[in-house]
Every structure is written in structure tokens, then in C-alpha cells.
Amino acid sequence: MYKILYFLGLLIPFSSFAQSSDHAFNIAQCVKYALDNQYSIKNARFDEYIAQQQVNNITGAGLPQVNASVNLQGNIQLPKFILSLPNPQTGELVASKITAGQPFQHNAGINVGQLVFDGTFFLGLQAAKEFVNLSKVMTERTEIEAINNVVTAYYTALTAKEGGALIDLNLARLEKMYKDTDAMYRNGLVEKIDLDRIQISINNLKTEKQKFERMVALTVALLKFQMAMPIEDKLILTEKLPEINVQNADFDNLAKIDFSKRIESKLLDKQALLEDYNRRRYVVSYYPSVYAFGYYQFNMQGKQVFNFEETGTFSQSAAGLQINIPIFDGLRTNAKIQESKMNSEKIKVSRQMLERGLQMEMENAIATLKNSRDNYQIQTENVELAKSVFAKTQLKYKEGVGSSLEVNNAEIAIKEAERNRLTAQLEYLTAELKVQVIKGELREKYGR
């Protein structure tokens, strides 16, 4: 991720030279944009089209095959044959040279072929149609990956944005405190060192603010990268980080998995069906196959081009059936059938591995979700406590019974508590997203 952010950071300065557009998007709009423009999704949809054309190609093999041909031939040298012919006077056999053919000969013909029966063709056609469905499931998997990346990047960008907003609040609080302390200093109530401590904190916050501004730009650039949005376009995030309801989380219901919703399960279903078609194709290859054929050919020969009055023209035609009967192939087909059966068993084992793995993933995700919820709850309490401590410490300082160091430490405690709560909030949302991915509900929630 850091390499991508670095790469995007190099591109940002050059983006101002290109024509840009402005977009104000929430999460759902970012997801929709990605589903319409993401490069891997476009390629997946191209694969769907290619799979459909493969079906059309296989279907075409079962339709009549018609071909026509025309041959125009001029014989530079006519073929000669040596034959033993009887001498008309003596009756003895004498070797004689005979010239065959005419200087010009042309022919035209048409050939027709039709598949009558071939079990492997019909099963192959069914398998090809199922392959189209498999390519659609592959597209769905690509969309799920894109949605996950976009939502994660959106949350990350929001976290950076809200982190910058917290710095602005802390900076405003410190600047007000500096103004109040400066008035006290002018009245001789505090020392110059108290002002200097606050100024140091203000300077540090300004530096941190600059870092967050750059981080916001980089995280938004990463989001645009995941969406396949041009880097020069301006993207405005219209949502805020969702609030976490720590009271109503039903973890027992969340832990339930409907394996049929998982894209990997759908892929295994398609693979099992295709392997079944493959095995049946090998079985029916033992059956005879029947092909019908026919042709008609028109022939012309003569001493001059297109002048055939002397020799005339003639034609020929034929029609028939070709029947192929497999007898013995050295048990090769049987070996392929046994191999296909083992592949089907492997798919069953893969399904068991998938379900066990998903159950383990879900246990880990639920544990992470619980830890994130507890951490968020604690950090929320810490923020309120830190604010209360700061208010009391500031009051003591104004009354002359506290030190500026205590006020400064209290302000640092607020900043740290708010940052920790923001981090815990992002961790919870990321864990919640992970649970949705495991349950196979991500596309249902954010997809089309």
C-alpha cells in the first residue's frame, strides 16, 4: 500500500496539466463508478463476451458446412505416358508416347457436410454454455474485490480527513489558550516560559497538520486509483465515518455463514459441473459418430480458354454417410474417465477446505470486531475524560493554582485520545467489512 501511495504522490504534481472534472461522491457512488470503469472489471466482461463467442464457435460446428471452389488451370506442359500399343501392320506391341489432357481445364464445385450424431459435440456445447456462466461468476468475483478495495480506501481517506479536522480543533483550542495566557502574561500573572510552551505545541500541530493534508491527498489519490478515476479529477468525499453502535452488535448472528453466497463456493459449483460434463464427454466418445456429406463438381477442358466446343463439359456428384465406430484405443479414454473422477473428488475436498477455512476466518474476524468495539468504547471514554481533565486543569491554571505544563500535558492527552478513538473506529469498520466479505454479502450491499 505504501508503494502505491508513493507512486500516486509522484503523479499528483503533474495532474494539474490535464483537464479535470469534479466529483462529489459517497461510498455507494464511488463503488458504482468503480464497477463501471475499473480496468479488471472491464477485462472480466470482455472474457464473458469471448466465452459467448466460443459457444457460438462450437454451435457452428453442428450446423451445415457449405464450401464452394473454382479452379482455373492452364497446363504449360501436358503430361505424357508411355503405353505398349500393337503395331497396326505387324501386330507387335510397341512402346508409344501418349499425351493426356487438354491445354486448359477448369472445374467448379460445391461441398456440403452435416453432423448427424456425435455425443461429444452435444456435451461439449452444454459445457461451453456453462463456461459462459463460469465467466460471469469470475466477473462477480472481480467486482467483489473492487468493491472491497474501494470501500477500504474510502474509509482510509475519511480517517485521514477527520484526523486533519481534529488537528484543526486542537489548534483552535491551543490558539485560544495562547491568547488567554498572553493576556495573563501582560498582567504579570504568568511567566514567558508558559507562553513559549504553548507556542511550541502550536508549531508542532501546524507541522502535523501539513502532514495530514498531504496524507489526505494521498489517500484520496489511492481511492481514485482503486476506482480507475483519472488522477487529475477532483474527488470530494461527501460522507463521514459511520458511527459505531456498541450496544446492538449481534455477534452470534454475524458469525453464521451461508456458504452458497460465497463466490468461491459458486466457482466450485461451476467447476464440479464442468468436470461432470468432461467425464460424460469421454464416456460418449465410445459411441459411433455419423456425418453426412455430398458434393457436385462441374468440369471443362479445351484447347483454348473458355472454348470447350470440341471436348464438351461433364460433371460428377456424390452423397453419403460417414460412420466412425470406436473399437479399441488402448484404454486411453478409460484413463481419462478415471482422471476426471479424481478431479471431481478433489473439488469435493476443496469445498470442505473452503468451509473450514471460512469458519476459521469468521472466528478471527468476530474476535477482531469485538476487540475493536471494546477499544473504541474505551477510547471514547478516554476522550471525554481527557476533555474533563483539560477543562479542570485550565481552570486551575487561570486561578493560579496550576502550571502551564499541566495544561499542556492535558491538551496532549486530548489529542492522543482523539487519535486513538479515530484509529479504533477505522479498525472496527475494517473488521466489519471483513465480516461482510466472509459472509459473501459485500456485493449485495454495495453492488448493483
Write the pLDDT tens digit of every residue in 138-174.
Answer: 999 999 999 999 999 999 999 999 999 889 988 988 8
User: What is the pLDDT averaged over residues 204-213?
Assistant: 90
- Among 111, 115, 113, which residue's Cα sits nearest to residue 124? 115
Which range among 202-206, 212-216, 300-304, 391-395 shows the weakest confidence by mean pLDDT? 300-304
Amino acid of residue 148: N
Segment 127-147 mean pLDDT? 93
Instruction: Answer whether residue 17 shows pLDDT above 60.
Output: no
Cell triple for 400? 493560579
> What are the backbone angles phi and psi of residue 57, rounded to the nearest 5°?
-65, -45
Of the candidates 109, 146, 121, 378, the one whose C-alpha atom is nearest the C-alpha of residue 263 is: 146
Per-residue DSSP letter, 84: E
**Is the separation of the CB atoms in 235 and 207 below 8 Å?**
no
Read off the pLDDT band of 10 (50, 70, 90).
very low
Q: Cell numbers of 122, please?
A: 452435444
Whether the per-residue pLDDT at 7 is higher than 60: the answer is no
pLDDT at 402 over 90: no
Q: What is the DSSP letter of 188?
A: T
Q: Which residues contact 52 (CB under 8 A, 6 or more apart)?
A: 132
Distances (CA, A) of 63 to 50, 51, 58, 110, 168: 20, 19, 10, 16, 73
Alpha-carbon distances of 89 from 84, 86, 92, 94, rounded to whole Å? 15, 9, 8, 11
DSSP SS3 for 115: strand
Residue 2's pLDDT band (cuts 50, 70, 90): very low
pLDDT band at 15 (very low <50, low <70, confident <90, very high): very low
H helix runs in 68-191, sequence order: 119-186
pLDDT at 48: 94
Q: How does 37-70 read in b/e, with b if 16+ C-beta sit within 10 Å?
A: ebeebeebeebbeebeeebeebeeeeeeeeeeee
Residue carrying the nine cell digits 494521498: 218
Cell of 131: 463456461
Selected residue with higher pLDDT from 181 and 424:
424
Longest dimension (CA), the chain: 156
Could you tell me which of 243, 244, 233 has the C-alpha nearest to residue 25?
A: 233
Q: What angle do the packed helices 39-61 and 119-186 form, to 10 degrees?
A: 170
pLDDT confidence band for 442 (50 / 70 / 90): confident
Lowest mean pLDDT among 3-12, 93-102, 134-143, 367-376: 3-12
pTM: 0.81
Q: Are strands 80-86 and 313-324 parallel, antiparallel or unpaired?
A: unpaired
> Which cell numbers hold the place of 108?
467448379
What proportion of the chain, given as a percentage, has pLDDT over 90?
A: 55
Task: Output the pLDDT for position 201.
Answer: 87
- Residue 288 is given by DSSP the state -
The pLDDT of residue 3 is 47
Find the mean pLDDT for residues 60-88: 85
Average pLDDT over residues 202-226: 93
User: Looking at the predicted structure, is the pLDDT value of residue 133 above 70?
Assistant: yes
How far apart are alpha carbons 405 and 412 in whole angstroms? 11
Confidence of residue 241 (pLDDT cuts 50, 70, 90): confident
- At 403 the pLDDT is 77
CB of 246 closer than 8 Å to CB of 377: yes
- Least confident among 78-92, 127-141, 184-198, 411-425: 78-92
* Nearest by Cα to 289 from 113, 129, 59: 113
Residue 157 to residue 13: CA distance in whole angstroms: 19
Q: Which residues, 6 or more positions from 282, have their beta carbon under 8 angstroms from its beta carbon?
A: 333, 336, 337, 340
Separation between Cα atoms, residue 262 and residue 362, nearest integer Å: 13
Kind and range of the H or E run holding 302? strand 289-302
SS3 at position 116:
strand
Residue 257 contacts residue 358 (beta carbons within 8 Å): yes
pLDDT at 247: 65
Nearest to 382 by CA among 413, 408, 412, 417: 417
Euclidean distance between CA atoms 35 and 26, whole angstroms? 14
Q: Which residues pair with 292 in a beta bridge?
A: 114, 321
39 forms beta bridges with none
Calculate what percentage of the chain has a pLDDT beyond 70: 92
pLDDT of 71 above 70: yes
Confidence of residue 19 (pLDDT cuts 50, 70, 90): low
Relative orientation angle of helices 332-398 and 119-186, to the nearest 10 degrees: 10
What pLDDT does 246 receive? 64
Contact yes or no for 94/85 (Cβ under 8 A): yes
Look at residue 189 and tell me whether its pLDDT is greater than 80. no
The arithmetic mean of pLDDT across residues 33-59, rounded, is: 94
* Residue-wise pLDDT tens digits, 277-306: 999 999 999 999 999 999 999 888 877 777
Q: How far apart are CA 400 and CA 440, in angstroms?
A: 61
pLDDT value, residue 21: 78
Using DSSP bridges, classify how beta strands 65-74 and 289-302 pair: parallel, antiparallel or unpaired.
Answer: unpaired
Residue 326, pLDDT > 60, answer: yes
